Structure 1
Amino acid sequence: METTARARGCPVAMLETGPYQAEALAFYARQGYAVCGPFGDYPAHPLSVFMRKCLTEAGAPS
């Protein structure tokens, strides 16, 4: 997915998962994803964990 996203010029990959998904959270962290705030139309919610990964330098926070 990341390779295709990069090839299409997508600067950032974002995902939402649950706080009780320890294996998923650990996997995403190992892949370079960091916890962030809600994005898009998602509201903040205690059962949501939002994560993002910069795929290009343009996607890096400034």
Structure 2
Amino acid sequence: MDHQEQENSRRRFLRLAAAAAPAAVAMAVAPNATAEVIKPNVPKSRGLRDTEHTRKYLESARF
């Protein structure tokens, strides 16, 4: 293994270690914690509503 490859592997290891340490601490602190999925209370869109505002816009956008 030449010097450059050895240096790159050390850098990869240090990056991995720096990224893994906070994850390991989080898993140790809260082993039984569950992620809560938050669903916004937004109604599903039914398309463009026919209002005076939208009619004016569509008329102004015609070519």
User: How does the TM-score come out when normalised to structure 1?
Assistant: 0.21
Task: Mark the structure with the bigger radius of gyration.
Answer: 2
RCO higher in 1 or 2 (8 Å CA, sep ≥ 6)? 1
Structure with the larger helix share: 2
User: How does the TM-score come out when normalised to structure 2?
Assistant: 0.21
Structure with the larger strand share: 1
